[in-house]
Structure 1
Amino acid sequence: MDENPLTEANLLWSGRELIHNRQWQMDLSLCAGGLEDYFSWIKKTLGVVGLALIKNVPFTALPETEAAQAFLNFGLNFGCPVSQSEKFDFLGRVTDRGSDIRNHTARGYESTAELPFHNDRCDLLALLCIRQAPIGGETRVVSAVAACQRLMATDPKLAQVLFEPVPFDLRDTKGDKCWGMMPVFSYSTGVFVARYVRRFIEASQRFEDAPRLTEHQIAAFDALDSILHEPDMAMDLRLEAGDLLLIDNHRLLHARSEFEDKAEAEAKRLLLRLWLCWTGSPELPAMLAPTYGRTGSGSFRSGVWPTTCPLSSFPSDLTQARQRVKDIILSSEYKKKISNYTTRTLKAE
Structure 2
Amino acid sequence: MTTTTTLEPVRGPFVWRGDQLSGTDEWIFRLSGDQIAELEDAGRRFVADDPDLRFVTAAEYPLPVCADAVRVFGADLDSGRGFVLIRGLRMDGYDDTLAAAIFYLLALHLGEPMRQNLLGDVLDHIVGVSDKKYLEGGLPSRTRDKLPFHSDSSDAVALMCLRPPASGGLSSLVSGATVYNEVLARRPDLAPLLLEPWHYDWRRQDPNAPADTYTSPIVSWTQGTFSMYAGGDMIESAHRYPGVPPLTAARKELLALVEEITYEPGVALDMDFQPGDIQWLLNYAALHSRTAFVNGPDRAHQRHLLRVWLRRDVDRPLVPRFGKHVVVAAPDARQVGPGDDTGRFRIADAATIRERWGD
TM-score between both structures, scaled by the size of structure 1: 0.81
Inter-CA distance 162–302: structure 2 relative to 1 (3 Å threshold): farther
- Alignment-derived partner of residue 316 in structure 1: none
From 16, 20, 23, give the equivalent of 2:19. 16
Structure 1 residues 288, 211: CA separation in 2 closer, same or farther (over 3 Å shift)? same
- Post-superposition Cα deviations, 1:154-188, rounded to whole Å, max 9, x if no partner, equal 11112222221121111327554221222111223
Query: What are the within-5 Å matches in structure 2 for residues 164-183 of structure 1?
Result: 164-170=196-202, 171-172=205-206, 176-183=210-217
- Indicate how the Cα distance of structure 1 residues 203 and 346 shifts in structure 2: closer, same or farther if over 3 A, else same: closer
The corresponding residue for 1:126 is 158
**Which structure has greater helix proportion?**
1
Match of 2:128 in 1: 96
Report 1 or 2 for greater relative contact order, CA contacts < 8 Å, sequence distance ≥ 6: 2
Alpha-carbon separation, structure 2, partners of 1:155 and 1:15: 22
Instruction: Specify the code of the residue in structure 2 equivalent to 1:103.
Output: E
- 1:40 aligned counterpart, secondary structure: helix
Instruction: Output one character per residue of 1:42-69: Cα deviation in whole Å (capped at 9) or x when no partner.
Output: 1222221111111122467321123223
8 Å contact kept, 1:292–1:302: no
Report 1:1-349 matches (<5 A). 9-29=12-32, 34=38, 36=63, 37=66, 38-46=69-77, 47-58=79-90, 61-98=93-130, 99-104=132-137, 106-170=138-202, 171-172=205-206, 176-264=210-298, 267-280=301-314, 282-288=316-322, 291-294=325-328, 306-307=337-338, 334-335=346-347, 337-338=349-350, 341-342=352-353, 345=355
* Inter-CA distance 259–240: structure 2 relative to 1 (3 Å threshold): same
CA distance in 2, matches of 1:242, 1:335: 17
Q: Secondary structure at the match of 1:279?
A: coil
- Shift in Å at residue 291 of structure 1? 3.3
Runs (4+) of structure 1 exceeding 6 A deviation are 301-305, 346-349
Rounded Cα–Cα distance in structure 2 between residues aligned with 1:234 and 1:301: 34
The CA deviation string for residues 227-249 of structure 1, in whole angstroms up to 9 with x for no partner, is 11121211111011011110111
Unmatched 5+ residue regions in structure 2? 1-10, 40-62
RMSD across aligned positions (CA): 3.0
Range with bigger deviation, 248-257 or 8-17: 8-17
CA deviations 1:186-207 (Å, max 9, x no partner) are 2233211211111111111221
| Alignment CA distance shift 1:65-1:41 (3 Å) | same
Distance in 2 between residues matched to 1:221 and 1:200, nearest whole Å:
11
Preserved CA contact (<8 Å) 1:59 1:70:
no
CA distance in structure 1 between the aligned counterparts of 2:281 and 2:126, rounded to whole angstroms: 16
- Checking the alignment, whether the CA contact within 8 Å between 2:229 and 2:323 is kept in structure 1 is no
Alignment partner, residue 47 of structure 2: none
Shift of 1:287: 2.2
Q: CA separation of 1:31/1:25 partners in 2, compared to 1, >3 Å: closer, same or farther?
A: farther
CA distance in 2, matches of 1:276, 1:143: 19
How far off its partner does 1:30 sit?
6.0
Q: More displaced, 11-20 or 269-278?
A: 11-20
Q: Which moved more, 1:224-233 or 1:278-287?
A: 278-287
Contact persistence 2:29–2:85 (CA under 8 A): yes
Deviations 1:244-267 (Å, cap 9, x if unpaired)?
A: 110111110011001111134564
Q: Which moved more, 1:40-49 or 1:166-175?
A: 166-175
Give secondary structure in 1 for the equivalent of 2:195: coil
SS of the residue 1:262 aligns to: coil
Report how many aligned residue pairs link the two structures: 315
CA distance in 2, matches of 1:288, 1:101: 26
**Aligned partners of 1:84 and 1:275 also within 8 Å:** yes
* One-letter amino acid of the structure 2 residue matched with residue 241 of structure 1: P
Q: Alpha carbons of 1:303 and 1:261: their partners in 2 closer, same or farther (altered >3 Å)? A: farther
SS in 2 for 1:247: strand
